[in-house]
Structure 1
């Protein structure tokens, strides 16, 4: 017990949302800080039921340009899904990103064949 230390950075989290053009509830994204990497958990909503999507990083806020896939997923019959990814994400999606800032998006299709962006980081 004497070697235990407080959680420190591991107890911090960072919240953001993704939304599409249509009105509706936004996708909620939480980044759990684990030091050099973050655990990303997204509660994706407002998507087409039983369809393939990709959570990705885009160079532009509008989702244009090449996309770097983070995780592929399929929605449930309600058009929702819980998506998980691990990586140095806060360093690239945060407003205070020290490197070139990137933006989270959800695009139609599987990671190998990403299609149209349907939700963007707000």
Structure 2
């Protein structure tokens, strides 16, 4: 019993240490989309929510958007196409736990995070 308890304590301590060593990356950006129920030019409108699940600011968040051709364009202040990627909110910081949202009309598109910059002074 004492051996099992010691193993459990070691496991918990190692888990806590390894969690502290994880660094924020663009992989901590989560993206979801839902239909708004509206139609524009005969196309469904979608609301996309981009969330920073990291505990640090992330800026210059880029999303995959090659082949994304909406019937209703996204406001450039929210999503700027740059070749096969799009820059979110003009590269501004997305704070920890914060979201950025935009809407578009067209066929469903799966956005994926492909890059970001994290403040190097941030202690995860």
Q: What is the TM-score when the length of structure 2 is the normalising length? A: 0.33
Structure number with the higher helix fraction is 2
Q: What is the TM-score when the length of structure 1 is the normalising length? A: 0.34
